[in-house]
Structure 1
Amino acid sequence: MGTVVDRLLTVDEALRAVRERAVLLEPRSCLLAEAFGCCLAEDVTADLDLPPFDKALVDGYAVRSSDLSAGEVRLVVGEEIVAGRTPTRALAPGEAAAIMTGAPLPPDADAVVMVEKTRRDGPDVIIEDGRVRSGQNRLIRGREMRAGDVVLRKGLPLNAPRLGLLASVGRSEVLVFPRPRVAVVPTGDELVEPDVVPGPGQIRNSNAVMLQALAGTAGAEVCSFPIAPDELAKLHSTLERGLSFDVLTITGGVSAGNRDLVPEVLQSLGVTRVFHKVRVKPGKPLWFGVGPPRGDAPGTLVFGLPGNPVSGIIGFLLFVRPALLALSSQKQSVPIVSRRRLARSFIHSSDRPTYYPSRLSPDSAEAEAAIEPLDWAGSADLRTVAQADGFAVFPAGDRHYQAGEVVEFLHLG
């Protein structure tokens, strides 16, 4: 599991430490209606042939192709077969059967003529063009799958078509890697809820709803707690409840002030600190540890995110999201980091790698949009980030970047 470190880690070192401790959650059986977005924890096989019979792909007439030739052909209509009913007999020479889409073909029929290419004449049907090939508009038995075929492999994320496929092979429940359960705990005496007008020295709690949304997009089940005050006893009680979840994210209380009580309380609850502080801007004070085992389940992954909202977003994208995906066997559906050209020149100066709010330039003529750093006021400036598509990544140091230079881009979505 690695050792506890006291030095300032790079982003890559911190991410490795997180991933080492993000142990895949135990599989559980889940109803199909609740399994969307989860990853399969088993191979799934077909219980029968599908389709279970030769079936019509269109409304029309089942025929024997050997009865047909060029030009019009007249056939006797023997019976009508609707979806959900079975033919009563084989198709005789010179005979057709009226049939609906999805219905089984009668024995000896090997094609279906669309109703639009026919006309009825009393008990007969006239095929307007008899050039019909064997197999036309027919789906043969077992074309989709045969009984015993593996139709879905372990590890696949369940989207809507895959859920439909599970239902088609008789599954009402399936074994999955469950969604991580995430607790979001905002802390700080200065916080008030969004519907409260802040008093002197107070700010509204914007972090909780942001983290709840970010965790939800990573496939987690999220519970947002009420604001926890900077008071040992109440903070202890709140964080103790949070340790019953797979992941506990705490905002605020992890810096170096005398009211930053979170690390002290976590230690008293048996949480082992793995690292505190990362060489990144914004978000340096990030705290990460692992709680005590929860019976047979591994300890909760605990992330103490800085209270400034942009720092919290960066910390989530870099460390919390990868942990959530690892817990549930998910893979990143789209790259979260890409390499993009700068749409304009930019001067950067910092002793830490900086994640700078930027938008994808709508005026770019390239196949991939260039990135345009925004006019940003720092880690509390959420308004600017609300206009961003992600964050341009500028390495530590002083440099004047020219338009067209390539840098990494951390996508927000």
Structure 2
Amino acid sequence: MIEIHQALSMILERARPRAPERQGLDQALGRVLAEDVINDIDSPPYDKALMDGYAVVASDLRGGRGELMVVDEVAAGDIPCEPLQSGMATRIMTGAPVPRGADAIVVDECCRMDEAGGITTVRIDDRDVRPGQHILGRGRSVRRGETVLQIGRRLSAIDAGLLAEVGRTQVLVHASPRVAVLPTGTELVPACDVPGPGQIRNSNGPMLGALVSSAGGQPVDLGIARDTESELARQMNRGLHEDILILSGGVSAGDFDLVPHVLRDLGVEQVFHGVRLKPGRPLWFGVLPHAKGSRLVFGLPGNPVSGLVCFELFVRPAIAALAALPQVSRPMIAARLSDPFRHTGDRPTYFPVRLEGDRWEGDGDPVQARLLDWKGSADLRTLACADGLALFPAGRSEYALDETVQVMLLERGLFAH
């Protein structure tokens, strides 16, 4: 067996970003830019009114007061008819182009409009009026030729709006890795079926697919593979066309654990088998050389909790590396044990906990971690109630009440705290 850090290092050495591809804005969300984005025009492309009111020449208003003739009305999308002359005003709406000659907008609250004999005037009382008031000048947001988004940035929904503002409908981004998910086991049936004698529903497939999506990958559901060499080889061969193949089950040392043998026959090169970790010791990792980048293959233990731990520690970082995403692992927080704990075994152990109290912020006291009544690495029901996984390093057996431990937050913990 190798240590956790050694296994992760071996994986990341072989996980290289995939070739960039050009995508529309709806498909680029969450991906990493593979190019700088340059603005093509000034934004805004004209002097823009920021408030409803009247466009004026500020020097016409002595002490902020005066009466001006209203000569035009401009809404967003209109084009002012004439330049504004001294002594005149233009009724203007938010977002509209400011007429040439105007240098300030006076808001409606400071104005009173009168009409007599077919002539419209506006009385203004705004002692704070000044040139540039409530006007966003041309190019003040973004200048033509300016870099608005830099290579290496992970695109957000706000970035999509900015890309549209600068005229980009497509952008070069790093590919989101396609990740095939293949649970193995003759005992498995689809979730929609009622299990017969000796059968269980496939829970790992949906869980792993959801984890892949949350990590920035594109899950590819391969269904279920029975424990025969021919069936495993056929299904694995499909998965080896994707960037990553995740297998669940069949990696221990039993007579029916055929996964490593079949992978070897398919040309997959084993990198390691076995990690000093609980749960998750049987983890298998290998690569299939390919001209467009090695295919990464993970053989996860079949028990759901073991599979989850291995995914978070090893598969999530690999997906991030292939997508050129920052290496961001699950958040870790400090927590105080609400009960003593006896750690048996010589491997680092992750144990499900519930967090109680306010999240630790700065110099405050850590929250309490209550150990759950966990029935082993197949106990998915208890895991669903967990806020996180407490880490108990190897080398110690006794942990006292209120002792501080590190807890890796799961989705429930992230939302609840």
> TM-score surpassing 0.5?
yes
Offset of residue 110 of structure 1: 1.3
Aligned to 1:163: 160
| Pairing 1:340–2:338 present | no
AA in 2 matched with 1:408? Q
**Superposition deviation, residue 230 in structure 1:** 0.5
1:179 partnered with 2:176: yes
Query: Once structures 1 and 2 are overlaid, which stretch shifts more, 315-324 or 348-357?
Result: 348-357
Deviates more, 1:103-112 or 1:311-320: 103-112
Q: Deviations over 1:123-159 (max 9, x none)?
A: 0112233431221111111111111111001111111
Structure 2 CA distance for partners of 1:314 and 1:409, relative to 1, 3 Å: same
Give matches, 1:16-165, under 5 Å: 16-70=9-63, 72-122=65-115, 123-165=120-162
* Structure 2 contact 112–123 (Cα < 8 Å) conserved: yes
Aligned alpha-carbon RMSD (Å): 1.6
Aligned mates of 1:143, 1:157 — CA distance in 2: 25
- Structure 2 CA distance, aligned partners of 1:299 and 1:320? 15
Amino acid of the structure 2 residue aligned with 1:138: I
Q: Given that residues 106 and 126 in structure 2 are in contact (C-alpha distance below 8 angstroms), is that contact kept between their aligned partners in structure 1?
A: no
Report deviation, 1:87. Answer: 1.6
> Where does residue 239 of structure 2 map in the other structure?
242
Of residues 296, 309, 317, the one that matches 1:314 is: 309
Answer whether contact 1:73 1:129 (CA < 8 A) is retained: no
Say if 1:328 and 1:238 are closer, same or farther in 2 by CA, change over 3 A. Answer: same
Residues 320-351 of structure 1: per-residue CA shift (max 9 Å, x gap):
00000111111256753343333443222221
Provide structure 1 residue ranges, at least 5 long, that are not aligned to the other structure.
1-7
1:393 corresponds to 2:358: no
3-state secondary structure, aligned to 2:344: strand
Paired residues in the alignment total 404
Please give the TM-score of this superposition, normalised by the length of structure 2.
0.93
Code of the residue aligned with 2:58 in structure 1: it is: S
Structure 2 SS opposite 1:248: strand
CA contact (8 A) 1:344 1:372 kept: yes
Partners of 1:398 and 1:34 in 2: how far apart? Answer: 48
Counterparts of 1:205 and 1:49, CA distance in 2: 55
The residue identity in structure 1 corresponding to 2:270 is R
Q: How much does 1:363 deviate?
A: 6.1
Between 163-172 and 192-201, report the one with greater CA deviation.
Answer: 192-201
* Stretch moving more, 247-256 or 400-409: 400-409
Which of residues 374, 377, 390 in structure 2 aligns to 1:376? Answer: 374
5+ residue gaps, structure 2, are: 412-417
Q: Decide whether aligned partners of structure 1 residues 312 and 45 sit closer, same or farther in structure 2, where only a CA change above 3 A counts.
A: same
Q: Retained in 1: the 8 A contact 2:317–2:328?
A: no
Whether the aligned pair in 1 keeps the contact of 2:60 and 2:86 (CA below 8 Å) is yes
Q: Do 1:349 and 1:397's aligned partners in 2 also have CA atoms closer than 8 Å?
A: no
Q: Percent identity?
A: 51
Residue 196 (structure 1) shift: 1.5
Alignment of 1:151-300 (within 5 A): 151-293=148-290, 296-300=291-295
Q: Does the residue aligned with 2:302 lie in a helix, a strand or coil?
A: coil
How far the C-alpha of 1:53 sits from its partner, in A, is 1.2
Structure 2: distance between partners of 1:341 and 1:110: 62
1:353 to 348, 370, 394: 348
CA distance in 2, matches of 1:34, 1:346: 47
Change (3 A) 1:128 1:344: farther
After TM superposition, give the deviation of residue 306 of structure 1 in Å. 0.4
* SS at 2:267 equivalent: coil
